[in-house]
């Protein structure tokens, strides 16, 4: 085997591993069965995170804490909680 053939063959495992890594997301989509209907897992996590963000807002108002930019804080908290719940329960 020449040096050029060794170089070429060394690239294939890297290419194959990259291809397999990219195709790993093509598995079955996570879904939640609620009363016979299947919903995407992220939608379930979003609904729960909206409730958790409302709970955090209630707790902050209970302790008389004001946020500087609540218009940015609560949607960001909701997005963070959605992604965190999805990673914890469905990934």
The predicted-structure confidence for 10-53, as pLDDT tens digits, reads as follows 567 777 777 777 776 666 667 777 777 778 888 989 999 999 99
Cβ-Cβ contacts under 8 Å for 49 (sequence gap 6 or more) = 78, 79, 81, 82, 85
| Structural domain count, the chain | 1
Characterise 64 by phi-psi region: left (phi > 0), alpha (psi -120 to 50), beta (else): left
Q: Place 4 in a pLDDT band, splitting at 50, 70 and 90.
A: low
Q: Which domain holds residue 51?
A: 3-90
Minimum mean pLDDT range among 27-31, 42-46, 55-59, 66-70: 27-31
- Residues 60 and 67 sit within 8 Å (Cβ to Cβ): yes
Mean pLDDT (the chain, rounded): 82
**82: Cβ contacts below 8 Å, ≥ 6 apart:** 42, 45, 46, 49
Residue 7 — pLDDT band, cuts 50, 70, 90?
A: low
């Amino acid at each position: 085997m020449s040096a050029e053939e060794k170089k070429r063959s060394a690239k294939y495992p890297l290419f194959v591993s990259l291809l397999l890594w990219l195709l790993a997301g093509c598995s079955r989509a996570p879904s939640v069965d609620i009363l016979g209907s299947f919903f995407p897992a992220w939608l379930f996590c979003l609904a729960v995170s909206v409730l958790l963000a409302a709970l955090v807002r209630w707790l902050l108002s209970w302790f008389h804490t004001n946020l500087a930019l609540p218009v940015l804080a609560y949607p960001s908290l909701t997005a963070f909680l959605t992604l965190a719940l999805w990673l914890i329960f469905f990934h």
